[in-house]
Amino acid sequence: MFTCLWDFKLDSIKAGFAMADGENVNDNAQVNLQVHPQPQPQLQVHPQQQPQVHPQPQQQLQVHPQPQQLQLQPQQQLHIQPQQQLQVQPQQQLHVQPEFQLQSQPVRDLPGLLRAVTSIRGAAGTTNTERSAMSAENQQWLMNALGELCCPSDDVQLMKQALALLEVEMGREKEESRSRAKNEEDEDVEEWDERVQRQERALDTLLEITEVVDNSRDFCKLGGMNVVFTGPLLSLAPSLRHRAAELVAICAQNEPMVQSCVLSLGGLQTLLDLVDKDTNEVVRVKALLAVSCIVRESEVALHEFVEKDGCSLLLRSLQNESPRLRAKAAFLVHCLLRSRPHLQEDFIAMGTVQQLGMMLQDFHEPSHEHIAGALCCLASHPMGLAGCQESALGLQHALRSRISELGTNDQFQEEKEFCEHLMEIFAADSPSNGAMDR
């Protein structure tokens, strides 16, 4: 390297002398042109380093477009979330809820057992038709329920306990009723209220148990009716009287043995007195319900009812200010006229046609359905038809107005049919009906 530099300097010096001497320097100039390109190794180094550095962004372009995020996110949404919703939630609904419902529902009869068992399907969902094995808890509950139905000794024991409590409490009340003063001390009033509440709970228990037909018969065999008619039905507490009357109604409905038991105790007269004279509306309504359950299905009871002037009692009840009592009385009148046509003359003689015709023209109420039905029964008798056609009564005009008022309301469809049937009866008798109101 030093040799080249030295030669380069010598050539430069010679060229300078030659120019000074006026010599031709073309050949020497070639040396300069050949020597100057020596920096070419520098030009070759820089381009080689730049091409190797600048392509680095290509690595970035290759990394970013890779669809790693697009592949991972859909997989998490599709596979994880639906599995949690489908597997966890239905299992909790199918296995947990039905067990709670079965264990919490009391069962006293076969319909109650059926409702309790079918509640499992309702809790699990109606669309699931697959059968699954019953859990051990539900199996034990079902076996206990069937055992209670097959051995109803528990209900008998409950009835005995309730009747014993009523006998004791009513005995104490009878002893204290004679010496009870109007202004009592607070302690005596509180004690009396507690005794009434205990008797209310006992009667509520009997009301629930005697809904089963067999239990109502067992109730009479245990002397329950005797306790009711000598105790709570004559109590000073209205809450005990109306519960006792309802208990008689439940037991006597469609049960000839119970109906005979009530008649043998003179219970029909007691109930009629409550309907006619009691000052409590609920007591009068429940007592009339009991009378209805006894006399509608028993010829012996109906005969006694007529002898005790029960028909007049019903007409007085129709004039009572209580809508509930009027509805119960109208229902019983309609039932008796429909099932016992021989009673039509008795009711007609008491002015029932005129009374019912005037009531039908009052403001509309639930009792009007049975009033219209009773008028249809009375109109089937010649004397009753003549009474319905009296111009002073104005029944035909009232029927037209009532039919228009009821319109197409499905709630009053039966009442409307009774009114239309009455109009048909009047139309069929129109040739001989010169006195009918126009």
For the stretch 108-136, pLDDT in tens is 555 565 666 666 555 555 445 455 566 77
Half-sphere exposure at residue 166, Cβ-oriented, CA atoms within 13 angstroms: 30
Q: Does residue 29 have a pLDDT over 80?
A: no
Q: Does residue 231 have a pLDDT over 60?
A: yes
What lies within 8 Å, CB to CB, of 52 at 6+ separation is none
Residue 141, pLDDT score: 72
Q: Does residue 382 have a pLDDT over 90?
A: yes
At 24, the pLDDT band (50, 70, 90 cuts) reads very low
At 407, the pLDDT band (50, 70, 90 cuts) reads confident
pLDDT tens-digit series, residues 133-181: 667 777 777 777 666 555 545 899 999 999 999 999 888 877 776 666 5
Average pLDDT over residues 380-404: 92
Q: Taking each helix axis from N to C terminus, what angle separates 238-252 and 267-277, rounded to the nearest 10 degrees?
A: 130
The answer to whether the beta carbons of residues 135 and 95 sit under 8 Å apart is: yes
- Helix, strand, coil percent content, the chain, rounded in steps of 5: 80, 0, 20
Q: Does residue 386 have a pLDDT over 90?
A: yes
CA end-to-end distance (rounded Å), the chain: 150
Question: What's the mean per-residue pLDDT of the chain?
Answer: 77
C-alpha 226/C-alpha 112 separation (Å) is 30
pTM beyond 0.75: no
Q: Does residue 97 have a pLDDT over 50?
A: no
Q: Which domains does the chain have, with CATH numbers?
A: 154-172+192-308 (1.25.10.10), 311-438 (1.25.10.10)
| Cα 99 to the center of its chain, rounded Å | 20
What lies within 8 Å, CB to CB, of 146 at 6+ separation is 113
Residue 7, pLDDT score: 54
Residue 27, pLDDT score: 43
The angle subtended at Cα 202 by Cα 200 and Cα 207, nearest 5°, is: 90
Tokens 């129709």 label which residue? 318
What lies within 8 Å, CB to CB, of 338 at 6+ separation is 373, 377
Residue 253, pLDDT score: 93
pLDDT tens-digit series, residues 321-351: 999 999 999 999 999 999 999 999 999 999 9
C-alpha 428/C-alpha 420 separation (Å) is 12
What is 314-369 written as a DSSP string? HHHHHTSS-HHHHHHHHHHHHHHHHH-GGGHHHHHHTTHHHHHHHHHTSS--TTHH
In 3D space, the residue among 350, 358, 347, 349 whose CA is nearest the CA of residue 395 turns out to be 358
> What is the phi-psi region of residue 127: left when phi exceeds 0, alpha when psi lies from -120 to 50, beta otherwise?
alpha
Residue 428, pLDDT score: 86
